[in-house]
Structure 1
């Protein structure tokens, strides 16, 4: 990473409020955040920090939650696979291996219906992806669109088109800026109630082991992100999470009717708490088990 690029990234990162929004973009917008347990306590953590016996963080992990239909004799299986949009190359290699075992892999991308991502993510640039690429370089990680193989026939686009996204935002009278303003307000409340990570962030930025130390600082904030996403959602949901989830599940329902029985939903981890509730309520499914993959190494 060049000195100029590093210095240009430094200024906004010093502002913790802006930095928290960057994390939410990386982990949950097009994109993900953390999903906390629901009120009944039966939703898994879809993104978590793994600690060793001494309490030191060793990895940022994403979940693969396995659901099975409760109907007698039904073979329908749906796996919610949480994504972070920057991660270790080995993390994306493992996902590519697992995706081969599904009848359908439903994936997120606000793009025209039926869009297929070309090899290496060529042609899919945006302000968000540009920002993610910059943070990817800062943390010495890889970008999802460049490492996940979207070419197999079992990959199915399951997201809004840009026109659908814009129309839903307009009908709700909401905006991206409005959602993130709510998140910033929540961040200010949290900052006033707890300690600041500014010192740790500054030390990491100027450390000789900058990439790993920055990862640890980012990971240490994961526990705060549930409140950030709740703020973005508001009381009536949002286009960016609940409405895109509804579209994804419309596509999934179509594929189930077409005979697909083993389905993966590969979406940013911030979407999955809402999806968990939809699977239980609308599809009559139950959570059978949860496993975790290491997305970032932290030691």
Structure 2
């Protein structure tokens, strides 16, 4: 057994090419396929800095949209899957005010998440829990209360997910290959994140130093997700978004007028474009919540 169990546990993350893919999925921050036109979407995840340009918080957006007649209101609520307890408690308070909250989770149709759920047992869920412990944060599924009646499962089932990936010729190996190419580009530019991670690991303030390093990667996630998505989108982002909006459309037909779409921040640029194009919605305002403290 290794003399340095923490280092052994996160060793795979120190490969820049794998790290790019893992962080994109864990934090769900990113962009759309390269074939899409330039979007006018706001930043759905950002690093807030003080007057001295020192990072103080990783933030996610709540973007407020309305139909032209004001009868329908839809909020895109960005999420990171690990965050501060205070962040999730604030979200819980806000969700009480919606007619319906569309939430993501690849699970059988109509799944209800029990309060305090510990995760799905999947490899991604395991990685998220590992990141939670490493960064001394909380896991979304444990802290968000999905039990209220206004929560609506709006995601693919595992069978739909697998079928779509197969039909598209998609898969983790393909995404790893695209991410590896992006990682090599970053290495050629002299990226120093690997060294920063190593220094943070052996710091006396390890969790906070790692948070700062990981948060700084957000500015590179656009290119990372473009590589992972490929030229025709992907099951992970564009196809799940289509499913979420199909479910949302049913809620609108059922008379819901004030709706939240609670999805990973990387899904929301595409959702912004769909709201404008397919639903005739207009962006009215954007606010930000602190998901991670960085000082």
Tell me the CA shift for residue 128 of structure 1. Answer: 0.5
**Residue of structure 1 equivalent to 2:162:** 166
For 1:272 and 1:188, locate their aligned partners in 2 and report how far apart those are by CA, in whole Å.
Answer: 27
Tell me the CA shift for residue 22 of structure 1. Answer: 2.0
Alignment check: 8 A CA contact 2:101 2:152 kept: yes
For 2:39 and 2:123, locate their aligned partners in 1 and report how far apart those are by CA, in whole Å.
Answer: 37
Residue 175 of structure 1 is aligned with which of 159, 166, 171?
Answer: 171
**Residue of structure 1 equivalent to 2:61:** 63
Alignment check: 8 A CA contact 2:39 2:269 kept: no
1:53-132 mapped onto 2 (5 Å cutoff): 53-70=51-68, 72=69, 74-122=70-118, 124-132=120-128
Alignment check: 8 A CA contact 2:30 2:226 kept: no
**Cα deviations by residue, 1:81-126 (Å, 9 ceiling, x for unpaired):** 0000000000000000000000000000000000011111146221
**Residue of structure 1 equivalent to 2:271:** 275
**Measured at CA, do residues 4 and 134 of structure 1 come closer, stay the same or move farther in structure 2, by a change above 3 Å?**
farther
Alignment check: 8 A CA contact 2:112 2:153 kept: yes
Higher mean displacement: 174-183 or 219-228: 174-183
Q: What TM-score comes out, normalization by structure 2 length?
A: 0.94
Residue 40 of structure 2 is aligned with which of 42, 46, 55?
Answer: 42
**Residue of structure 2 equivalent to 1:261:** 257
1:157-236 mapped onto 2 (5 Å cutoff): 157-236=153-232
Gap runs ≥5 in structure 2: none
Q: What TM-score comes out, normalization by structure 1 length?
A: 0.93
For 2:145 and 2:118, locate their aligned partners in 1 and report how far apart those are by CA, in whole Å.
Answer: 12
For 1:125 and 1:148, locate their aligned partners in 2 and report how far apart those are by CA, in whole Å.
Answer: 18
Tell me the CA shift for residue 148 of structure 1. Answer: 0.4
Gap runs ≥5 in structure 1: none
**Residue of structure 1 equivalent to 2:50:** 52
Alignment check: 8 A CA contact 1:205 1:214 kept: yes
**Cα deviations by residue, 1:53-80 (Å, 9 ceiling, x for unpaired):** 000000000000000002x3x4100000
**Residue of structure 2 equivalent to 1:288:** 284
Tell me the CA shift for residue 17 of structure 1. Answer: 2.2
How large is the RMSD of aligned CA atoms in angstroms?
Answer: 1.6
